[in-house]
Structure 1
Amino acid sequence: MITVLLVDDHPVVRMGLRGMLEADPRITVAGEAGSGDEAVARARQLAPDVVLMDLRMPGGDGVSATARILAERPESRVIVLTTYENDQDIVRAVEAGAAGYLLKDTSVADLVSAVAAAHRGETVLSPSVATRLVGRMRAPAAETLSRRETEVLALVARGLTNAEIGRRLFISEATVKTHLLRIFGKLGVSDRTAAVTTALDRGLLPPLNRTPGHSP
């Protein structure tokens, strides 16, 4: 019997996962948690074989919870189950020791197979996640943004215009445009929106809720 701990801050999601997994006679859900901190405590109490871990939750995110659980119980296997698949999230999860990274549109059969495979010690990845990881490994190393370029792009991501960025950083609007053109060249993009999106995917900026579309 494979014991599973479900970690998700939405009770209805946990209920659905429990029903899907326990339909397979090899799997039993030993417990549930609704936050990263609770996941660590429940894993310590229940010693599950597999943990299905949501990525973004209150009370400690899934990546930090994964690292903490595996530090205490390395024999457990953690599978991230999330709606997010940007490069930064994937790499952080893998570096924390996750045995798998699945998206929430994964079929029931594939989810059950992934739990069993992780329990056997295998790595399980959604096809799109595997493609992103391979592409990241094959891509040439991206040029690093300078501190000032990072500051400019972070303000672009917050929706500021070139004039507003210039006032905030005490530089001219022309200098802002020069920084943006250098950023575009380093990231291989041609506009502000693509620059922000690419920088987020590569982990050069923290996750944000707003992506502007002003011209440079």
Structure 2
Amino acid sequence: MDVVVASRNMLLLEGLCRLLRDEEDMRIVGAAGTAERALSMVAAEGPDIVVVSSDLGDVAVAAIPERVRAAGSGTRVVVTGAEISPPHVLELVRLGISAYLPVSATHEELKAAMRSVVADSDRVTISLTRDEVRRIYGSEQGSLTRLEVDILGMVAAAMTNGQIASRLSLSEATVKRHLRKIFRRLGAVSRLDAVNKASDAHILV
């Protein structure tokens, strides 16, 4: 398989290139220090995989799957690196990455993930701990808009619907409608239950 590797960290970039060059079925066709440079190499070389380090930045990494897809490329996007929160990993999967491996993953895990997603275009490989999976589940189940989080924070502060409406310049009916949505999304049966479930899911901090 042909591979492009991208990282701002030159030591990491050179290390990944050295690691993958040792594999008989892998060929490095480009090494980039920026997302834009990596995308240019993907357009020019049409590799099977682009391995992207998270040190390129959240915005840059998140843009790569869409840009690759928009270019009509079948290149798979594999992300590796530290400090990616589980909800962000889930968002990257939605955007179209094929695999995510943290820096704690072994070289063999990375190479296995690369081979897996090339062999099956529908496969997604994610390396996370059980606790991180639970955090993703909680975030997905309890996904709320910014306004709904603000309303729930005021509920936690024991504010009435009227007080919340006044604070946010909304009608009480609108506040009640948002609360019904919040209860439904959290699977809550009361204001206290909603606050407790949101706290458990790290929605309220």
Root-mean-square deviation (CA, aligned residues, Å) is: 3.4
So what's the TM-score if we normalise by structure 2?
0.66
- CA deviations over 1:75-110 (Å, ceiling 9, x no partner): 111111121341331122111111111112211111
State the secondary structure of the residue aligned to 2:2: strand
Structure 1 gaps of 5+ residues are 154-170, 172-180, 190-194, 205-210, 212-216
1:1-216 matches, cutoff 5 A: 2-57=1-56, 61-121=60-120, 122-128=123-129, 132-133=132-133, 136-137=136-137, 141-142=141-142, 144=144, 147=147, 150=150, 185=196, 187-189=198-200, 198-199=202-203
Distance change in 2, residues 1:43/1:138 (3 Å): same
State the distance in 2 between where 1:140 and 1:103 align: 21
1:74 shift after superposition: 3.9
Equivalent-residue separation in structure 1 for 2:49 and 2:114 (angstroms): 7
CA contact (8 A) 2:87 2:139 kept: no
Q: Is the 8 A contact 2:77 2:97 kept in 1?
A: yes
Residues matched between the structures, number: 166
Q: Quick check: 1:7–1:54 contact (8 Å CA) kept in 2?
A: yes
Calculate the TM-score normalised by the size of structure 1: 0.63
Q: Is the 8 A contact 2:79 2:101 kept in 1?
A: yes
In the alignment, the residues of structure 2 paired with residue 8 and residue 93 of structure 1 have an alpha-carbon distance, to the nearest angstrom, of 17
Task: State whether residues 47 and 73 of structure 1, in contact with CA within 8 Å, keep that contact through their aligned partners in structure 2.
Answer: no
The 2-side partners of 1:138 and 1:29 are apart by 39
| Aligned equivalents of 2:143, 2:125: Cα separation in 1 | 31
Give the gaps of 5 or more residues in structure 2.
Answer: 154-166, 168-190
Which one has the bigger helix percentage?
2
